[in-house]
């Protein structure tokens, strides 16, 4: 009988039951895990492809510290853009903590200061007044009492509202809805943060995406890309209550401003029947280039325009000499003068002061255009008049032309600076006000009277008041203040992106941190025009550009002459012009106020007077020094001119260069000299007289020419040997095809031992050449006859310890000769009165010689009259002489 078994009655083994369930769960887990791994891999792959190509990196500025990458980028910039972007001054910090030197502070700090930049500034500042100002400003900034948190733009923006949400939109990797700017902030990103960033940068729309990403753009997103708000569901790191888009989804907002479009200037060639505008040329002058200033005025002058001149308060010579020009009713020198420095906040204060004064004068002007002594017109003033008459309601400024956030960082606008002791001290970071666009560029501008009345109003509105607070503590404020006011005010529709200038930028030369002595930052400066830059002038012919910069006759006067002739459409002067290729620049004038004559220069002048009196039989007065000028002929420095009461003396330098053996490398040596004040941009020393004292910082200036183009680099060694035969420093020169001009600065502690120093140039342990230079002992110290105590300190030098071993001993004097030199130096260091003067005269006779002499007046028939020479500062110089105005043209006669 067959037995049927009921399955329900069969007992399943507990072990087999759990094993079966485990297998099922394991299989399901494996499937889920595989799917998750695949999903993560795909996500990471897409995310990598998404972020890396899309991350927008602004191109490096061609106006910062001059790195190789930035120099390459600079080649893509136009030559007429004078945006002065900067980079932080780099320096090595041995440790992160800076201790405040409390013993140097005699006041109570207004707050606890821990910021390294502030502590560094407090330690370096010299006066208690400056230290107090730095501390006060820093504490106000820390307490958020220094700057406005928010400012309101009054630029018309119909239908645009700050923070208006447009919704959630689908974005594409290869076609971004907002493509003007992209940034990532893992800590602070939020709609408010991104809107402020985009508004500050001048964009109409802001978008937050993928939690930490911020996009900016000027084009409205299409409605076809709009998706449900739920698709934007990622939280913001800067605001957990807000959403910041999602994976290729973006929340988009209005920033409150409309798309910015600079105005296009009208073509002045179109017939213009309007009454010609009257222009104020605001000349802001510094230095001692009096003859160049007069030459500029001669070419620029017209009786229908006005010339308002500000001379730096420290330049008494220039101010005094230009006062005579006020005989012309349309020329005026302001008596409210400022001491301005490169990049200083005082520059903006000075410009607004001049504008305010001009508004109160009875001159009927319509434009202000600022210039310096380094500017020169590239078109006749009549063409400029026609152009501005066709654009009488416009304001001409030049924008940086780059991504704004990059500009802010490079320009240092996100830093607080304090101006005192003729320096800009960096004291910390700051946040710029919310609600406004930031703009900037060149500080050379042409502004209409209505805008000037607005920006220089003695009772400014809230926008200008707030921006004045911001830019009072800003580096280079004149390069951003007017631009920013213009972009955010009711005058925003009058903005023309053109400063009417072409600028001679050579980034590799001009961006070498040349202003470290006056700012805690690195900056760039344009080069002077030379004849080789003439094509840049020619390129302005068909463009709305009316001025070029920079021009300096001590660097190159030939290009100025060529430009003058070009402006008059002639190839050569219509009449003979005496001393056409000569230039004189004042170094000292006895009537200067508040400026003490350099002790070494005064010592040299007295020595020259003694030497001249011995060699001159005529009864002339050599006790009263009137002026010192540098004389340049055919763009080469020729003489130092010492003008005494009755006589002028032309002094020339002896070049003490010896080439040991004719060698291929030395055949290419053009010059080798020691001086001070080396200008890296122009590759020359501005101490033309080449006078050095115990307080000088010597530099060796060299130039090689036509080096073989074989790609070879020559590494030369310079030995700096003092008057007693000690090796004081060893420095190197690297010569290659693209680096044939330069300088070497030794590390010498002051006071430097007076006497004859020697430099020896080595190549692979072989002496190639040598030169010598004098450190002049002083007859005066701080303007007064030197005392015995000062002599003991200044003329003995510092104790020297040999740190170079015996590596170069064969190039130094032997022990016997060293002993004699040391004894001579010890004897010289004790000299006073007549013996000191004899020592000074012996050095002057060794390194300087009197080449020419002339007299002023009938004091000696044996000597030429100065006015009849081709070199004297009293000789005719018609190209820089102000004459009467031509009644027909309204201008000065030139040729």
In order of start, what are the domains of the chain with their CATH numbers?
102-142 (no CATH), 165-254 (no CATH), 274-393+536-578+877-895 (3.90.550), 651-848 (2.60.40.1930)
pLDDT at 36: 66
Q: What whole-number distance in Å separates Cα of residue 698 and Cα of residue 461? A: 52
Q: CB neighbours of 842 closer than 8 A, spacing ≥ 6?
A: none
Q: CB neighbours of 661 closer than 8 A, spacing ≥ 6?
A: 768
> What one-character-per-residue DSSP string does 362-374 give?
S---SEEEEE-TT
Q: What whole-number distance in Å separates Cα of residue 500 and Cα of residue 377? A: 10
Q: Where does 705-827 show beta strands of DSSP type E?
A: 714-721, 727-735, 741-744, 755-763, 766-775, 780-781, 784-785
- Please state, as a whole number, how many other Cβ atoms lie within 10 Å of the Cβ of residue 301: 23
Helix 481-488 with 462-472: angle, nearest 10 deg: 160
Q: Where does 421-471 show beta strands of DSSP type E?
A: 423-429, 446-448
b/e per residue, 815-840, with b = 16+ CB within 10 A? eeeeeebeeebeebbebeeeebbebb
Q: Where does 129-231 show beta strands of DSSP type E?
A: 165-170, 181-184, 205-209, 213-217, 226-227
Q: What whole-number distance in Å separates Cα of residue 840 and Cα of residue 795? A: 12
**Taking a C-beta distance cutoff of 8 angstroms, is the pair 523, 83 a contact?**
no
Nearest residue to 470 via CA among 416, 426, 405: 416
Q: What whole-number distance in Å separates Cα of residue 615 and Cα of residue 469? A: 63
Q: What whole-number distance in Å separates Cα of residue 412 and Cα of residue 476? A: 9
pLDDT at 77: 43
Three-state DSSP class for residue 822: helix
Nearest residue to 84 via CA among 549, 443, 485: 443
CA dihedral 38, 39, 43, 46 (to 10 degrees): 60
**Taking a C-beta distance cutoff of 8 angstroms, is the pair 66, 512 a contact?**
yes
pLDDT at 459: 96
Bridge partners, residue 434, by sequence: 150
pLDDT at 5: 42
Q: Where does 64-204 show beta strands of DSSP type E?
A: 165-170, 181-184
Determine whether 313 is exposed, middle or buried from the number of CB atoms within 10 Å of its CB (0-12, 13-18, 19+).
middle
Nearest residue to 435 via CA among 182, 666, 192: 192
Q: What whole-number distance in Å separates Cα of residue 390 and Cα of residue 852? A: 55
CA dihedral 623, 625, 630, 634 (to 10 degrees): -70
**Taking a C-beta distance cutoff of 8 angstroms, is the pair 660, 760 a contact?**
no
Blockwise average pLDDT, block size 10, the chain, 895 residues: 43 56 71 66 47 30 33 42 48 60 91 94 96 97 95 90 95 93 95 96 97 96 96 96 96 95 84 83 97 97 97 96 96 97 95 98 98 97 96 96 91 96 96 96 97 97 97 96 97 97 91 85 92 97 96 98 95 90 96 88 96 81 91 97 94 88 78 93 94 96 84 89 95 84 92 96 90 96 95 88 85 93 94 96 96 87 90 96 85 74
């Amino acid at each position: 009988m067959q037995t049927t078994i009921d399955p329900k009655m069969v007992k399943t083994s507990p072990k087999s039951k759990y094993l079966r369930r485990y297998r099922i769960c394991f299989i399901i887990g494996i499937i889920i895990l595989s799917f998750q791994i695949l999903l993560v891999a795909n996500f990471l792959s897409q995310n990598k492809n998404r972020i890396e190509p899309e991350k927008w990196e602004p191109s490096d500025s061609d106006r910062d510290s001059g790195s190789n990458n930035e120099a390459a980028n600079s080649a893509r910039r136009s030559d007429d853009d004078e945006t002065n972007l900067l980079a932080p001054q780099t320096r090595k910090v041995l440790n992160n903590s800076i201790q405040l030197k409390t013993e140097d502070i005699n006041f109570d700090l207004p707050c606890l200061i821990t910021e390294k930049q502030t502590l560094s500034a407090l330690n370096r500042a010299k006066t208690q007044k400056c230290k107090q100002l730095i501390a006060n400003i820093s504490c106000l900034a820390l307490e958020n009492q220094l700057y406005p948190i928010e400012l309101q733009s009054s630029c018309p923006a119909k239908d645009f509202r700050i923070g208006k949400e447009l919704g959630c939109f689908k974005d594409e990797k290869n076609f971004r809805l907002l493509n003007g700017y992209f940034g990532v902030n893992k800590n602070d990103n939020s709609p408010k943060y991104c809107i402020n960033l985009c508004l500050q940068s001048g964009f109409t729309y802001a978008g937050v995406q993928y939690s930490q990403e911020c996009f900016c753009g000027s084009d409205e997103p299409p409605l076809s890309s709009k998706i449900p708000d739920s698709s934007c569901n990622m939280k913001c790191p800067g605001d957990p209550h807000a959403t910041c888009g999602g994976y290729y989804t973006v929340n988009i907002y209005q920033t409150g401003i409309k798309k910015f479009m600079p105005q296009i200037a009208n073509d002045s060639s179109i017939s213009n029947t309007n009454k010609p505008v009257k222009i104020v040329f605001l000349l802001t002058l510094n230095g001692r280039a009096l003859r160049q200033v007069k030459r500029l005025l001669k070419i620029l002058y017209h009786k229908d325009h006005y010339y308002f001149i500000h001379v730096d308060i420290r330049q008494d010579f220039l101010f005094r000499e230009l006062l005579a020009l006020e005989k012309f009713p349309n020329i005026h020198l302001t008596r409210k003068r400022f001491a301005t420095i490169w990049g200083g906040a005082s520059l903006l204060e000075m410009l607004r002061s001049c504008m305010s004064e001009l508004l109160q004068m009875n001159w009927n002007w319509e434009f202000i255009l600022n210039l310096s002594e380094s500017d020169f017109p590239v078109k006749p003033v009549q063409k400029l008049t026609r152009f501005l008459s066709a654009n009488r309601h416009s304001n001409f400024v030049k924008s940086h032309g780059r991504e704004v956030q990059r500009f802010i960082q490079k320009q240092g606008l996100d830093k607080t600076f304090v101006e005192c002791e003729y320096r800009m001290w960096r004291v910390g970071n700051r946040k710029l006000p919310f609600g406004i666009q930031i703009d900037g560029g060149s500080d050379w501008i042409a502004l209409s009277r209505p805008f000037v009345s607005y920006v220089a109003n003695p009772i400014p509105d809230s926008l200008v008041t707030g921006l004045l607070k911001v830019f009072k503590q800003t580096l280079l404020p004149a390069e951003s203040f007017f631009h920013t006011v213009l972009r955010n005010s009711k005058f925003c529709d009058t903005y023309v992106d053109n400063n009417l200038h072409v600028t001679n930028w050579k980034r590799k030369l001009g961006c070498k941190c040349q202003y470290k002595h006056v700012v805690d930052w690195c900056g760039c400066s344009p080069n002077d025009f030379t004849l080789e830059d003439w094509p840049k002038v020619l390129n302005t012919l068909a463009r709305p550009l009316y001025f070029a910069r920079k021009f300096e006759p001590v660097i190159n006067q030939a290009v100025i002459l060529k430009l003058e002739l070009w402006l008059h459409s002639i190839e050569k002067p219509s009449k003979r012009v005496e001393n056409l290729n000569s230039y004189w620049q004042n170094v000292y004038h006895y009537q200067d106020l508040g400026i003490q004559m350099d002790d070494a220069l005064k010592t040299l002048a007295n020595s020259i007077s003694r030497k001249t009196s011995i060699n001159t039989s005529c009864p002339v007065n050599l006790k009263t020094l009137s002026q010192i000028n540098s004389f340049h002929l055919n763009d080469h420095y020729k003489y130092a001119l010492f003008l005494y009461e009755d006589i002028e003396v032309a002094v020339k330098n002896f070049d003490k260069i010896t080439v040991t053996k004719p060698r291929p490398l030395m055949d290419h040596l053009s010059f080798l000299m020691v001086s001070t004040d080396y200008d890296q941009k122009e590759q020359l020393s501005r101490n033309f007289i080449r006078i050095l004292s115990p307080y000088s910082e010597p530099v060796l200036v060299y130039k090689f020419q036509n080096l073989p183009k074989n790609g070879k680099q020559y590494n030369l060694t310079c030995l700096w040997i003092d008057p007693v035969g000690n090796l004081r420093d060893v420095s190197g020169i690297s010569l290659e095809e693209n680096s044939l001009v330069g300088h070497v600065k030794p590390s010498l502690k002051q006071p430097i031992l007076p006497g004859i120093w020697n430099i020896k140039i080595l190549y692979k342990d072989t002496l190639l050449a040598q030169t010598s230079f004098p450190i002049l002992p002083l007859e005066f110290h701080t303007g007064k006859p030197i005392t015995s105590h000062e002599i003991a300190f200044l003329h003995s030098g510092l104790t020297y310890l040999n740190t170079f071993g015996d590596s170069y001993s064969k190039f130094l004097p032997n022990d016997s000769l060293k002993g004699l030199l040391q004894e001579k130096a010890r004897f010289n260091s004790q000299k006073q009165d007549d013996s000191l003067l004899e020592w000074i005269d012996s050095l002057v006779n060794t390194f300087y010689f009197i080449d020419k002499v002339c007299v002023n007046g009938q004091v000696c028939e044996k000597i030429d009259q100065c006015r009849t020479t081709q070199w004297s500062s009293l000789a005719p110089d018609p190209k820089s002489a102000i004459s009467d105005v031509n009644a027909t043209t309204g201008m000065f006669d030139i040729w």
